[in-house]
Amino acid sequence: MRKIWKSSALLLGTAAVLGAIALSGTKAEAAAVEVPVEVKINKTLVEEMTSKLSFGEIDLVPGQVETITLDAKTDLAAAESTATKGSPIATYSSFPGVITIKSANTFKVNVVYPTNVSLVGTGTNTSTVTVADFITYSTATGATKAPGADHPIYIGGKLSIPADTPNDTYSGKISVTVSYAAI
């Protein structure tokens, strides 16, 4: 019976202390407080199409299949169209496409070019010409962008023109995928 009495006394003592606190006028409260959390992220990376890809104004030699190459691997100023069958190209009418990447950061630039694209006559005809080999004649993938400097991606290719293609302006679009990796 003694064990029961000691336990009961302990319980009575604890209850008396709690009762005394409650009677003393001490208030116990709990509250939920909301704390704002934020982060500001600035994306300083900008990609812009600086120049369209133009193979120039070509005077097609009649009856000839013609291939026009615009090699833009390294430099905008060095790129110009050349014809394999001698079709004259108007001076200063061809220029590579250019995508300019602007950012203060340094990173590796990966570029994925399409396999080819068909250009369709913009007049009344529906003839097409094909541009291919973008990867061969454009800025290589995997280049490192220097800190604080713009990074140009020059786009060239090989234009195939069937014999006796009608006079017209042929146009289309390519989709170039640019991704980035930390160095």
The pLDDT tens digits of the residues spanning 135-181 come to 999 998 898 988 888 999 999 999 999 988 999 999 999 999 999 98
Q: What is the pLDDT of residues 25-37, one digit of tens each?
A: 667 788 899 999 9
Burial of 106 (0-12, 13-18, 19+ CB in 10 A): middle
Distance CA 26, CA 4 (A): 32
Domain range annotation of the chain: 46-181
pTM across the whole model: 0.74
Q: Which residue has the tokens 């399409």?
A: 114
pLDDT at 11: 47
| Listed range (13-22, 37-46, 74-83, 142-151) with the worst mean pLDDT | 13-22
The helix/strand/coil state of 153 is strand
CA dihedral 112, 116, 122, 123 (to 10 degrees): 170
